[in-house]
Amino acid sequence: MSTSREYPKRPYVGAAVIVLRDEEVLLIERGKAPNKGQWSLPGGKQRLGETVVQTAHREIYEETGVKVGKLGLVDVVDVIIPDGHGKTLYHYTVIDFLGKWISGDCRAGDDAQAVRWFKLNELDSLSLSTKTKEVILNASSMIEITNTF
């Protein structure tokens, strides 16, 4: 059975947040396709009339129960997943933000089947996409360089 996000007529815009707390990053285990069961950044699809920053704050809270402070832009990532016949099965444009944890005990909600803090040095042992790992490490470096968060 096809979901409304499969074989889209246009890309979906989404926001994800790299939530850092000391030397840890908050990740969710995806509960839905694409990449069900894989660890990923919390985030989701933008709603009509909502800014992308509002999307990021709403999604982080809905999926994890965590609140973050000011957001900083890290990257814009195109997620294009073809089917076995070369047609586009999924297409997302995801704006990745960096946010510092300010409150909330993590709990799985919305599309997340699990939520957990991981040490940055644990990333290699997780089922993470290469791009997700790269974005997390870039965000971590941004904090070290700027000390703004």
For the domain with range 12-142, which CATH number is right: 3.30.70.1140, 3.30.365.10, 3.40.50.850, 3.90.79.10?
3.90.79.10
Q: Residue 41 and residue 26: Cα distance in Å, rounded?
A: 7
Q: Is the Cβ–Cβ distance between 43 and 137 less than 8 Å? A: no
pTM for the full predicted model: 0.87
Question: CA 146, CA 142: separation in Å to the nearest integer?
Answer: 6
Cα(5)–Cα(22) distance, rounded to whole angstroms?
35
Residues 4-13: pLDDT tens digits? 789 999 999 9
pLDDT in tens, 63-120: 899 999 999 999 999 999 999 999 999 999 999 999 989 998 888 876 778 899 999 9
> Is the pLDDT at 145 greater than 70, yes or no?
no
pLDDT for residue 142: 86
Reduce the DSSP state of residue 59 to 3 states and report it: helix
- pLDDT value at position 2? 45
